[in-house]
Structure 1
Amino acid sequence: MKDKIIRKATELFLKLGFKSVTMDDIANEMAISKKTIYTHFKNKTTLVRECAFSVMDSITTGIDQICALDSNPIEELFEIKKFIMQKLEDDQTSSQFQLQKYYPEIGKKLHQNQLEKMLESTQKNIKKGIDQGFYRKNLDSDFIGRLYFMGITGIQNEDLFPIEKFSSKYRTEEYLEYHLRGIVTPEGLITLNKFIKEHKTND
């Protein structure tokens, strides 16, 4: 039952927002009593924490599986982007900012975990790209990893990028291309252009 509550609550939190969804809403959606929820979760904050890290774990597992395929580094980033876009639709992209506003301790911990994971995967991607000749040899992988993380999280800020003007899909695709064009070699640029062309054809 605990896992079912987490799944339903996560769905509602991402769709409607962490603040607006109440324990009563979750109970009503699941046709269970609120008491049943409190049997597994001390309070709403505890439930929010479980849901937030459940999403994080799901995304981390998916990224690890993509990286394990050992594709070329440019294809790897496109596949990760595609996977994350499937996970988080337009109406869900502001959820992290809500988390930081209404549950700052959870938001801070989640942000730190995301940073650590992205630094790890980005640095591996850059090393592979350099070794295979797709990325420039003089890259500082730690700096680039932090810059990439700052951009990926920053483009979700709807004050800077209002959803009615910049869809989540547009923001993510444009930023990935921007990131890659800054680090590829001439050979890597040929591969990048190929992926951009194929990607736009398939959309």
Structure 2
Amino acid sequence: MREKITHKAAEMFLTLGFKSVTMDDIAHELGISKKTIYVHFKNKIKLVEAVTFEVFESISEGIDGICNTSLNPIEELYDIKMFVMQHLKGEKTSPQYQLKKYYPKIYDVLKFKQFEKMQDCVKKSLQKGIDTGLFRSNIDVEFISRMYFNGMTGIKDERLFPHEMFTINYLMESYLEYHLRAIVTENGIQILNKFITSNQS
């Protein structure tokens, strides 16, 4: 039952937002009493926490799969972007922004976990790009990987990038291109241009 609750809660939180979904709403959708939810989760904060980290683990596993099978680091980043977008329902309700606003302690832990995960993944990707001649050999892998995380986190701040002006998909695609154009070689730019042309949203 715990798994059913977290699965349904994740679906509702990502679609409708962490704030607007109540324990009553989740119970109603599952056809159970609210008391049943409280058997497994002491309060909504505990449920939000469980959902947040289960979604994170699920996305992390998917990213690992992409990293292990990608043809090149340029395609890898775009595939990861598509996977994350699908998993987070396109972030129509800005779940990260809501998490930061209403559940700041959970958000802080999540952000650190995301940093650790992305740092490891992006460093390997950058090194792969250098080794295959797609990225410049003189880039500082440690610095660029941190800048990438900082940028990807920054574009999700609705105060800086209001969703009525920019869709999350546009922001992620534009930032990816911005990031890659700064580090690719001549060989890399040809692959990037082809990829952008054939995969435009």
TM range (shorter): over 0.9
Matched residue type, 1:54:
E
In the TM superposition, residue 91 of structure 1 has moved relative to its aligned partner by: 4.4
C-alpha distance in 1 between matches for 2:35 and 2:89:
31
Structure 1 gaps, min length 5: none
Q: TM-score, normalised by structure 2?
A: 0.96
Instruction: Give the ranges of 4+ consecutive aligned residues of structure 1 lying more than 6 Å apart after TM superposition.
Output: none
Q: SS where residue 184 of structure 1 aligns?
A: coil
In the TM superposition, residue 29 of structure 1 has moved relative to its aligned partner by: 1.2
The equivalent residue for 1:76 is 76
- Mapping for residues 24-63 of structure 1, pairs under 5 Å: 24-63=24-63
The equivalent residue for 2:188 is 188
RMSD over equivalenced CA pairs, Å = 1.2
In the TM superposition, residue 83 of structure 1 has moved relative to its aligned partner by: 0.9
C-alpha distance in 1 between matches for 2:66 and 2:80:
7
Q: Contact conserved, 1:155 with 1:171, CA < 8 A, in 2?
A: yes
C-alpha distance in 1 between matches for 2:89 and 2:155:
14
In the TM superposition, residue 46 of structure 1 has moved relative to its aligned partner by: 0.8
Say if 2:175 is the partner of 1:175: yes
- Mapping for residues 1-203 of structure 1, pairs under 5 Å: 1-92=1-92, 94-200=94-200, 203=201
Q: Contact conserved, 2:81 with 2:172, CA < 8 A, in 1?
A: yes
After superposition, give the CA deviation of every residue in 1:89-120 in whole Å (9 maximum; x if it has no partner). Answer: 34446211211221111110000000000000
Q: Contact conserved, 1:93 with 1:168, CA < 8 A, in 2?
A: no
Q: TM-score, normalised by structure 1?
A: 0.95
Q: Contact conserved, 1:139 with 1:183, CA < 8 A, in 2?
A: yes
Matched residue type, 1:103:
Y
C-alpha distance in 2 between matches for 1:108 and 1:192:
34
C-alpha distance in 2 between matches for 1:7 and 1:186:
45
Q: SS where residue 162 of structure 1 aligns?
A: coil
Matched residue type, 2:20:
S
Residues 85 and 31 of structure 1: CA distance in aligned 2, closer, same or farther (over 3 Å): same
Q: SS where residue 20 of structure 1 aligns?
A: coil
Q: SS where residue 180 of structure 1 aligns?
A: helix
Number of residue pairs the alignment of both structures matches: 201
